[in-house]
Structure formats: C-alpha cells, structure tokens
Amino acid sequence: MVNGYAAASLAEALEIRSNQKVVPYAGGTDLMVENRSGVDYLFLGKIPELRNINEDDEYIRIGAAVTFTQALEDKKVPALMKEALKRIAAPAIRNAGTFGGNLGNGSAKADSVLIEFVSDARLRLASRDKERIVDVDKFYLGRKKLDLAADELIVEILLPRTGLDRYSYEKVGGRNALAISRVSFAGIFDERDGRITKLAAAFGAVADTVLRYKDLEETMLGKTLDEARELKEKYLEGYAERMVLTQGRVSAEYRKKVCMNLLGDFLAKFGI
Amino acid sequence: MEKISQSVVKKDHAPKVSGRSIYVADYPPEGVLCGKLLHSKVARAKILGVEVPKLPEGYFYVDARDVPGDNNVNIVLDDTPVFCRDTVEYIGEPIAMICGPDEKEVIRLRDECKVAYEELEPVLDFYSADEKFFDYNFGHGDVDKAFAEADKTYEEEFETGYQEQAYLETQGMMAEPEEGGRMFVHGSSQCAYYIHGAVMRALGCGPTGVHIKQDVTGGGFGGKEAFPSILGCQVAVAARKCGKPVRCVFDRREDMEYTSKRHPSFCRYKAAVKDGRVTALDIDVKFNAGAYSTLSAVVLQRGIIASPGIYNIPNVRVHGSAVKTNTSPCGAYRGFGGPQTFFAVEMFMSHIARDLGREPLEFKRTHLVKQGDQTSTCGKYHFPVPIPDMIDEVVRESDFENKRREYAKAQTGRYRRGIGMSMYFHGAGFTGAGERDLIKAVARLRKYKDGRVEVLASNGDIGQGVRTTFPKIVANELNLPLDQVFYEHPDTARVPDSGPTVASRSLMIVGELLRRAAIKLREQWKDGEEQEVEEHYKEPDFVIPFYIDKFEGDAYPTYAWAVNAIELEIDTYTGVARVLGAYGSFDVGTPVDYNVVMGQMEGGFLQGIGYASIEKMDYDSKGRIRNNSLSDYLIPTTMDVPRLKCMLHVEKYPDGPYGAKGAGELPLVGAPAAYLEAVEQALGGMKLNHAPFTAEDTLSAITKEVN
C-alpha cells in the first residue's frame, strides 16, 4: 500500500523529508499517469509558504506549490512565463499542476522550466538544516537527474523582475491542447544605447535537458544590430554545430530544423 | 424540421453523465477471476513450450488445449485461433490466459511465464508481402482500348496508415458459468450474435448453451465488431476451465498495440484521359491485413467498390488484395475500407485536373455520377445524387471559390493558407447480398400488459444512440410517449438476431423493421394484454441482385453522400497545420434525431481530420507498435478544429424509416483528401500522396522543395 504524508507547514515537510524516503508532490497530475506501487508520497499542496507569489527588489518569487492557473491570474508573473503556462495541457491540469512539480519531474519538456532557463531563474532549495540557492541550469543535470538531495525540497522559483519584456515564445506540440512539447523555444532580447545587452535562447524538449549556449550568446553582446547582422551567419552555424538533438516522438532532423527556424525568426523579430 | 428529427434527451444520458452506468470493468470483483493474456513477444515463431510458474491454489493457466470445441474463432473465415496454435504470427498474439482472484498476482504469474520460441522470419514489409488472404478483380468497359486511345495517361501511388479507434473504454469481456452448464458472456461489444456464434463453436455447444449480452459500451467505432468474438471465446474457455466467472479487461497499451485497427493501404491508380475527361481507371488496391484474415474480406470489398469514387467513368478495372503480414490483424473502423480508396481517388482526380490546367472542383463536377447511372459494380444509382447541391452548400458556407483563388496566388512569409475539397459516398448497409443472404434480420416488439413496449433487437448502443432512436421510431408510430417504449442492451437469450451493429445499418435496416412492426402492433393493439409482433428483413424490389463471385449488381441499395471542405494555415517554420475551418454537408436521409446525427457528423469529421493529420502509427523493424499510449498516439481535441461546421442535406430513402439512411460512418471518410488538397495548395501546388500528413512530413516537403 502507498503511505501518504501530508504536511501542514514547510518545517513539517522538511522534517518528514529528512527522516523518510518520500516522493514529494503537490498537484498530483503526473501521478495520474504514473502512480508507482511501493512508493511513499509526501503531499505539499496545502503548505501556505509554498503557495505564494511574492516579489522583492530583484525577483518574482513563485512558490513551488503555486498552480499554473494561479500564476496566470497573478499580475506579478511576467508575460513570457504566461505565454508558456497558458499552453500547458488543459484547464483542469493547469488548475492542479505546479511549478515545483514541473521542475521536479526532471523533464526537458517542462514548459515552465524553459522560461526559467532562458530568464536565468534561480531556485531556492531547503532541507531541515540548511537552505541554498541554485541556478536552474545547474539544478537540471540531465534527464530525470536533478541537483536535489534526498532531504531537500524545492521551495521557490526566483524569476528576474526585469529584462523579460522583449521575447519570443513558441511551443510545437502534437496538437493544440493536452500536448507534450515536441520542440519549445524561448528567446529574450534586450539592448541599451543601441547595443545588445541580452540575447538568450533556450530550446526545450529536444535533448535530455533544456539547451542554452551562453558562450554563443556572448558573441553577440555589446554589438550593434548592424554588427549582429554580420555575425548572424556564424552565430547560427554555432548553434547548428552544437545542437545534437534526440529522436523522440519526432525525428532529430525535424527538431533541429524547427529549432533553427525558430531561432532565425527570433533574431529577425528584433532586427538581427 | 420533421417531428421525428426533433431532438430528445438520450435514454442513457443520465446514467452516463452521472457515472452510474455499469461497464464490464465495474461489476464487483468478488467471486470473479481476473484473466490476463500471455501475449507473444515475437512476430513469428514456433512455440516450443511454455514454462509456467507454480500456480497458487485458485490460479489457472488456460491455453488451446483447454478449448472444449474448436480452437478457431468464427469471423468471416476461421483462421484466427482462440489461443495460438503451434506458431505465433504477430507480436501480441494470445498464447494463454492466467486467471486468478488477485490481479497483481495474476500479472506476476503471467510475467513469469517463460515462452520458448523458435523464431521464424516474419513478413513485415507490406509492399513486398505476397501471401494474399483475398484477391478480387472486377470492372466494366474496355480499359485497354481506352488507354490505347487516350490523349494522356496518368499513374500515381497513394498510401494511408493505421488508425486506432481510441474508444474511451478498452476491450473487455467477462464469462460466467450458469446453472445447467450454460455460459453467459457479456462485455463491451457491438455484435452480440457474432460473439454468440463464435463462443458456441469454441465451447462446442448448441445455441442454447451460451448467451451473450452487451454491457454498456464506451465506444466501438468498429473496433468492437470482431475483436470481442475472440476475447469472448477466451474468457468463455477460461470460465469453463476455472468453473468460475472470468473477466479480462485490456489495459490501454495492450489495447492499442494488439487489437484491430484500420488497414494501412497502398493503391496504384492509372487513368486514361481523352478530350478533357477521364475515360478509364485501372486501379490496384492493396490492404495490409495483418496476421489473420478477420474482417479483411469485407473491408477490402467496400474499399474497392468505392475505389473509382463518385465519378462516371465508362471503363474501369479494379484489382484488390488483402495481404498477410506478421502484425496485429486489422479490422473494422468507421468507414471500413472507404477512407483509403476515397483518399486515393480524390487526390488522383485533383492531380489530373491540375495537370490539365483545370480547377479540381470544376473537373470533378463534370464527372459526377447521377441518378440512373451505373455503379462500379454494374448496379444502379436508383435515387437522386444530391452532390451538386451539396457542393453549392459547402462552397457558400466556406467561401470556397474566393479562398481557393486567393490562396492560389504566390504566398510568402511564415504562414501560408490553403483550402481543399472532397466528395464521396458511404454505401448504406452491408456490402453486397449480406443483408439478404447472411443476416436475414428479425426484429420484435413486446407489449406488456401495462402498455409499455419493449424493443427486441440485437443492435448495441455504442454511443450512436440506438437505445433512443429505436424507441423513438416505435413511439412515433404508436403515438406513445417516449418513456413508454424502451430498449435494453441486447441479450441473445431474449432478443432475435437483427444483425450486427455495423455498416451504418442499424437505424436504416432495423429501424425500418421496427417501424413496420409498430404499425403491425398498432393494428392489433389490445389494451391490457401482452402482445408480441415480429418483422423480417426483405430486400427491396428495386435492388439488382449482387453476386460476389463476379462483383456485379447493387452493392448497396442506396448511398449516404457528403462534401467536405477544409481550410488550413501552415506554419512553414514548424510544419504545423492549423485548421481554420472544416465544412461538411452530409446527406444521411432524414435525421431520426437531429442532435444524435450532428454529434455523429462532428465526431466523425474530427476523427477523419485526425486520420489525415496527426494520427500516425506504424510498427518497427521487429513488427512492434511503439506508440501504444494516448500520449504517443494523439487524436484531435476540440481545440484542434474550433470551426467545425456540419450541415445536413436530406435526400430521403423510401425504404428507410421516414427516409433515413446510414449515418455513422459517412463523416469520417472524406477528410483526408480535403485536408491534403488544402496542404498542397498552401505549399504552392505540391502533389502529395500519403496520409496522415504530419507536421514533420510538411517540413520535410518544404525542405525538399527549397533544395
């Protein structure tokens, strides 16, 4: 039989987590698909500290048990994140599914995670005795592999408050609703005084983890649009060379072609 | 709207939406053994033996040796075994069943069975497969002469893939031994009497030794036409051996991988054109039947009869075959062979038109059959062909001609649009002489003392509404309120054989028998008495007798007609097509319930769009179907076709109740051709030849074009 724990506070949850081998969950939408026998579960969906969306000077802080619907209705959540959220599954799933669960599943197809990658989000993790903050790309180690200790929980997602306004977002699913991403793309552009200050591009659902190549992005930073246009071919070649994609529900060739098309479209959209 | 067409609340609405309906999986487990099939893991092998783990008390291993009667399931031929013979012929073929009280334990025991296979080379390449289960030839006119005299000739190949029925409820049957040795088999099914015949044979008993009841069924779409006969035999054999009720309900993966699907097809079409008209068609149709013949004979017949489309072509030669491969046997699915050949002929006609510099719609119009014309099998279109009016309706509703002209202009940019059209029929009722020679349907009405009337027939409600529409017809004739007339799920112990729930026949054929029975009852109605009346099918006098050996005569007494238009927009960066609008005019005669018919039209049309676009399934080099879940095999949701406009055009059929004809299958059949023609236009006039045409196919076509 499955043993279930329901924690009323974060402290209680961390206490259980430190003593028991448990699989944490909140919305339970993934358990509807894969409910393993012989596993003990820890329910986090009713913990007040995990269900808030706050902001400070630097970050929008989204609790791990915040549902997608809750985030969609919150003015603090940036438009780019909402673009991704509103195409997750269907309303019933969005009502239950949470940010922490999307991360914790360890899938490169997770739609909210792509936005966290492209926006340099950080995660606040906690165990009973300590707390740490980790960059999302350091947290995601590979397919189903996370930098999360057995006694830790994801507490908050820290999304930068600024610099997310000029973006591209694309999701290619097998259909218009209730579809797992086959390719997803998010790009963020920013400039100051005619020079590029940000050109982030992240690709979801095409490899074991979300792909982002910061060294390639850096080649464009500080450049004017004219200079960027000249560098464009080389920049795209860099991506074409680096992106080694996996075959899944669609072929690797298809994914690559789509990724390159969407990256090109993103550049064109901002005059590059 | 006629009174009979006015919608009522479906009789099974309340129990279904409130969750109170009892499906086969819902009967309490107490005293019922769970059965799980041991499936072959290889596509073709000799079975050297099965090492069965030690079975705890109360657990059983059931295989072919336990079949008291004949280990062959009666479908059309008898080649499908109840449990495998010395060899297995596809991945998933049932070798044995483990039965026992605890499901987890049954699964563990099943998984611990060690099957010793001596692997044999399987036939997996459909193109080169040459073992033909069925091979038919027919035609008329002088095809060779027409080709010799042609101005121009054409040749093209067309392919279609599998399609999975994806009913909500998976396959499930249950068998319960009754007192006196009688076996009661019930479950999710379409054709109680098919199962009856099959189980009688497997158990080696007479007609009274077994009775079959349909449980509430969560969708069939043809997938529960033949398969429940096989599963019914397996649970009946198991229940006989165990001496207890045995229930086997498939899980989704088992169901998607191992049960029957739509036949993949490969068609080669040749045409002769003279003076701007197609004068001859030379058609070769090949269906992938899978490992056993099941329903392939009749699916193929319907497919090849429809293969020249709805065009009056003076010279036609058709060859059709259904070949064996070592894969899951294919079977019935809404449309039953028609979707494959209508796809081919509609695309072919469109391509010929474009090559001749003509608009496909205008070209097709000049070739349309009309009342009195000869059918492909030298029968006759006895009734008016309403297609020209239906084209006008669809053209008007979709603004077809303007859009077609607009989208024909060179398109640049990321998103490009196209619109396409298809036109077709679905022969109403059984193909050929089946209704007259094989089925010989009987329907009965029983009037109780209190004045309530029960419909006694063997047609199962699988969502198409016969539990509502049959009583509606009877109530209408007897001037009774609808709640005075009822129709339960059929049990062969109680109802006559009014035939299977297939071929869009139930309402048209059995509904008419019930209408006549109601008139008969009306004439002899006596208050306070129990009375029973019966009607037998009689072929209408106008029908030209059909002979299958020469493929001649009326294959169908009448036809349901349809015209579809689909408008879409292609994202050239991702290959994803967005359907902007799907428009269909459907003639199913008089709708006996408007909402029921519209539900069928919309659902079927959407299924057809799925078949055209995203529903892709194939087997790998070992013969295994990999995408066996609903997250890997996607079917469209309502979000995929937000604008789905269905219209009814009524051309009454005098021998159907109030003018009703077959409805269920029609809406699925024509979507692929309309969809692909739209994709072709969006892509700047390419010629495409296969369905489904996925986003990946689109992107690869664009890439090829560029290079």
Q: pLDDT at residue B171 above 70?
A: yes
Domain boundary among A140, A160, A180: A160
The rounded Cα A70 to chain-centroid distance in angstroms is 17
Q: pLDDT of A42-89, one tens digit each?
A: 999 999 999 999 999 999 999 999 999 999 999 999 999 999 999 999
Distances (CA, A) of A189 to A186, A192, B534, B554: 10, 11, 77, 68
Task: Give the sheet arrangement for strand A4-6, strand by strand.
Answer: A4-6, A41-43, A23-25
Q: Which of A62-66, B269-273, B328-332, B700-704 has the lowest mean pLDDT?
A: B700-704
Is A12 a domain residue?
no
Query: Residues B596, B602, B606, CA angle at the centre, nearest 5°?
Result: 145
pLDDT value of position A249: 83
Do residues A122 and A212 share a domain? no
Which residue in the set A176, A180, A261 is minimally distant from B574, CB to CB?
Answer: A261
Percentage, residues of chain B above pLDDT 90: 99
Binary contact (B700, A254; C-beta < 8 A):
yes
Mean pLDDT along residues B137-151: 98
Positions of CATH 3.90.1170.50 in chain B: 31-122+191-206+217-245
Question: Nearest-CA neighbor of B210 among B175, B245, B243?
Answer: B175
Strands of A161-270 (E only): list them: 167-173, 181-192, 195-204, 211-212
Q: pLDDT at residue A107 above 70?
A: yes
Whether the upstream peptide bond of residue B28 has omega within 30° of 0, thus cis, is no
Binary contact (A178, B637; C-beta < 8 A):
yes
Helices vs strands, H then E, count in chain B: 17, 26
How high is the mean pLDDT of chain A? Answer: 96
DSSP 8-state class, residue B640 = G
Mutate to test the interface with A, among B576, B578, B637 (most CBs of A within 10 A): B576
Q: At A238, list the tokens.
A: 């860099």
Distance from CA of B402 to the nearest CA of A (A): 27
Q: At A157, list the tokens.
A: 């997602």
Q: pLDDT at residue A1 above 60?
A: no
pLDDT-based confidence at residue B704 (cuts at 50, 70, 90): confident
Task: Count the Cβ atoms, other than its own, within 10 Å of residue B350.
Answer: 26
Q: pLDDT of A230-243, one tens digit each?
A: 999 999 999 999 99
Whether residue B135 lies within 8 A of chain A, CB to CB, comes out as no
* B638: CB partners within 8 A, 6+ apart: B606
Q: pLDDT of A140-189, one tens digit each?
A: 998 899 999 999 999 999 999 999 999 999 999 999 999 999 999 999 99
Q: Which residues in chain A are closer than 8 Å to B582, comparing Cβ atoms?
A: none
Is A140 a domain residue?
yes
pLDDT value of position A3: 80
Binary contact (A179, B414; C-beta < 8 A):
no
Do residues A141 and A190 share a domain? no
Q: pLDDT at residue B655 above 90?
A: yes
Domain boundary among A160, A186, A214: A160
CATH number of B441-536: 3.30.365.10
Q: Which residues in chain A are closer than 8 Å to B166, comparing Cβ atoms?
A: none
Whether residue B163 lies within 8 A of chain A, CB to CB, comes out as no
Mutate to test the interface with A, among B414, B569, B696 (most CBs of A within 10 A): B696
Residue in B closest to A263 by C-alpha = B573
Identify the residue with better confidence: A35 or A209: A209
Q: pLDDT at residue B97 above 90?
A: yes
Q: pLDDT at residue B333 above 70?
A: yes
Distance CA B424, CA B422 (A): 7
Domain boundary among A160, A183, A201: A160
Q: Which residues in chain B are closer than 8 Å to A253, comparing Cβ atoms?
A: 700
Per the CB < 8 A criterion, the answer to whether B243 and B96 are in contact is: no
- What pairs with residue B424 in β-bridges? B562
User: How many cross-chain Cβ pairs, A to B, lie less than 8 Å apart?
Assistant: 48
Distance CA B451, CA B455 (A): 13
Binary contact (B637, A177; C-beta < 8 A):
yes
The rounded Cα B401 to chain-centroid distance in angstroms is 33
Binary contact (B699, A254; C-beta < 8 A):
yes
Distance from CA of A265 to the nearest CA of B (A): 9
pLDDT-based confidence at residue A33 (cuts at 50, 70, 90): confident
Largest Cα separation within chain A, whole Å, is 64
Binary contact (B639, A265; C-beta < 8 A):
no
Q: Given CATH 3.40.50.300, say whether it is the number of domain B31-122+191-206+217-245.
A: no
CATH number of B265-431+553-706: 3.30.365.10
pLDDT-based confidence at residue A2 (cuts at 50, 70, 90): low
Provide residues of A within 8 Å CB-CB of chain B. 33, 90, 170, 172, 174-180, 183, 249-251, 253-254, 257-258, 261-262, 265
Is A261 a domain residue?
yes
Positions of CATH 3.30.365.10 in chain B: 265-431+553-706, 441-536
Q: B residues 566-625 near A, CB within 8 Å? A: 573-576, 578, 614
Distance from CA of B245 to the nearest CA of A (A): 27
Q: pLDDT of B543-555, one tens digit each?
A: 999 999 999 999 9
Which amino acid is present at A34? E
Do residues A150 and A178 share a domain? no
Question: Nearest-CA neighbor of A114 among A58, A51, A167?
Answer: A167
Which residue in the set A172, A249, A251 is minimally distant from B574, CB to CB?
Answer: A172
pLDDT-based confidence at residue B705 (cuts at 50, 70, 90): confident
Q: pLDDT at residue B316 above 60?
A: yes
- What pairs with residue A43 in β-bridges? A6, A25
Do residues A152 and A196 share a domain? no
Q: At A19, list the tokens.
A: 């003593």
Distance CA A169, CA B342 (A): 39
Do residues A152 and A89 share a domain? yes
Whether residue B173 lies within 8 A of chain A, CB to CB, comes out as no
Binary contact (B639, A175; C-beta < 8 A):
yes
Distance CA B674, CA B257 (A): 29
Binary contact (A254, B573; C-beta < 8 A):
no
Count of structural domains within chain A: 2
DSSP 8-state class, residue A147 = S
Q: pLDDT at residue A36 above 90?
A: no
Distance CA B675, CA B677 (A): 5
Q: Which residues in chain B are closer than 8 Å to A249, comparing Cβ atoms?
A: 627, 632
Per the CB < 8 A criterion, the answer to whether A40 and A2 are in contact is: yes
Binary contact (A177, B631; C-beta < 8 A):
no
Q: What is the CATH number of the domain that holds A223?
A: 3.30.390.50
Is A37 a domain residue?
no
Whether residue B629 lies within 8 A of chain A, CB to CB, comes out as no
Q: pLDDT of B429-459, one tens digit each?
A: 999 999 999 999 999 999 999 999 999 999 9
Mean pLDDT along residues A263-272: 97
Which residue in the set A176, A253, A258 is minimally distant from B573, CB to CB?
Answer: A258
Distances (CA, A) of A110 to A94, A106, A255, B180, B579: 13, 8, 16, 59, 26
Distance CA B129, CA B125 (A): 6
A110-114, Cβ contacts within 8 angstroms, sequence gap of 24 or more = A110/A204, A111/A84, A111/A85, A111/A87, A111/A171, A111/A181, A111/A184, A111/A204, A112/A68, A112/A81, A112/A84, A112/A85, A112/A88, A113/A140, A113/A204, A113/A210, A114/A84, A114/A184, A114/A185, A114/A186, A114/A202, A114/A203, A114/A204, A114/A210
CA B646, B651, B656, B658 torsion-angle sign: positive
CA A112, A84, B638, B387 torsion-angle sign: negative
Q: B residues 13-52 near A, CB within 8 Å? A: none
Do residues A150 and A176 share a domain? no
Q: At B56, list the tokens.
A: 């705890």
pLDDT-based confidence at residue B707 (cuts at 50, 70, 90): low
Phi, psi at A63, each rounded to 5°: -65, 150
Percentage, residues of chain B above pLDDT 70: 100
Question: Nearest-CA neighbor of B584 among B642, B511, B668, B489?
Answer: B668
Q: Which residues in chain A are closer than 8 Å to B700, comparing Cβ atoms?
A: 253-254
Mutate to test the interface with A, among B573, B606, B626 (most CBs of A within 10 A): B573
Q: Which residues in chain A are closer than 8 Å to B575, comparing Cβ atoms?
A: 254, 258
Binary contact (B696, A254; C-beta < 8 A):
yes
Identify the residue with better confidence: B705 or B415: B415
Which amino acid is present at B127? Y
Domain that includes residue A115, residue range:
48-160
Q: pLDDT of B363-405, one tens digit each?
A: 999 999 999 999 999 999 999 999 999 999 999 999 999 999 9
Mutate to test the interface with A, among B103, B252, B574, B609 (most CBs of A within 10 A): B574
Q: pLDDT of B580-602, one tens digit each?
A: 999 999 999 999 999 999 999 99
pLDDT value of position B500: 97
Do residues A115 and A146 share a domain? yes
Q: What is the CATH number of the domain that holds A121?
A: 3.30.465.10
Q: First and final CA of chain B: distance in angstroms?
A: 56
Is A23 a domain residue?
no
Distances (CA, A) of B289 to B40, B110, B134, B298, B301: 18, 28, 9, 11, 13
Residue in A closest to B694 by C-alpha = A174
Question: Nearest-CA neighbor of A136 among A149, A119, A152, A151?
Answer: A119
